[in-house]
Amino acid sequence: MSTNGWLFPRGSLAEGPWESVVGVGLPGWQHTGLRIADLDGDLTLPPASLERMIVPLAGSFTVSASDDRWDLPGRRSVFDGPTDVLYLAAMTGFRIEGSGRVAVAEAPTNVRLPSTLLSRDDVPVEIRGAGRSTRQVHNFGVPGALAASKLIVCEVITPAENWSSYPAHKHDRAGANESELEEIYYFEAAVARGVDAPADARPFGMFTTYASDERAIDTAARVGTGDVALVPYGFHGPAVAAPGYDLYYLNVMAGPADERAWRITDDPAQGWIRQHWNDQQPDPRLPYLSKEIGR
């Protein structure tokens, strides 16, 4: 891969009704998948050896599979707090109906666990870091919050001028202190809360990935709504929200191990910064409170 070869601008992974599709069809990609769509009507996906998680980005949806039916009231945007999410067991085909923008996270597996709806009110919300490293994490699809075979999913809101995915870290070698996981970053950006911006404002942030060993990787990119960055290996971070613009990303992770775990190793040149968070206060702009739809 060339410089930024793992960064895919909005629409460059389009497939049928899906704005973006990440899966094993991409060279060098094995363990995770993601689908993004703007929906006004319905879409279907057939049964497959995949466990899936449906994440409303904006809008409300209803999902049906065989005799089961789930309502996801959703939210107005990704910057309006956590959302209801639905985990679907492997070999479950489904239909999704509604209006808005939706993500479907995927991981190959033949293990069938019960499909589960997690209400927005039950989503663990974490304020991580301090000072200009403060971010808001919705841990709806991580070990301990939701049972799954391989899939690990969360989302992060980074207010304007703050840094997240920082210090840069990796999870590309299996061991006692680290998991081997692929990772997908799906981004959105918006004018920061309370900021009066002109109509032609173009919200953005920055994202980097770089080599942790002999495997070359070098992503240094401006990112905005709809862009996708893949991290097959290497140190990744920071993700930085530009002044005047809030940054969001959805993370999808999975790997080859039977154990479903997220263990990381910091870049030694940056990991020391964590100790200084003890002397700083979290950013008072967070948490971003939810704005409800249909409730």
Question: Is the residue at 289 inside a domain?
Answer: no
Maximal C-alpha separation, the chain: 54
CATH number at 107 reads: 2.60.120.10
Domain that holds residue 109: 7-277
211 in a domain, yes or no? Answer: yes
Mean model confidence pLDDT for the chain: 95
203 falls within a domain = yes
Domain count across the chain:
1
Would you say residue 46 lies in a domain?
Answer: yes
Report yes or no: 88 and 47 within 8 Å, Cβ to Cβ: no
What secondary structure, in 3-state letters, does 135-175 show?
EEEEEEECCCCCCCCCCEEEEEEECCCCEECCCCEECEEEE
Rounded CA separation 34/206 (Å): 21
In a domain, 2, yes or no: no
Kindly report, residue by residue over 239-290, the tens digit of the pLDDT. Answer: 999 999 999 999 999 999 999 999 999 999 999 999 999 999 999 999 998 7
Average pLDDT over residues 136-144: 97
Is residue 258 in a domain?
yes
Q: What is the pLDDT of residue 289?
A: 83
Question: What is the Cα–Cα distance from 53 to 50, expressed in whole angstroms?
Answer: 10
150: left (phi over 0), alpha (psi -120 to 50) or beta: alpha
For residue 288, tell me if it sits in a domain. Answer: no
CB 155 within 8 A of CB 56: no
Summarize the confidence of residues 185-201 as an average pLDDT.
Answer: 96
293 within some domain:
no
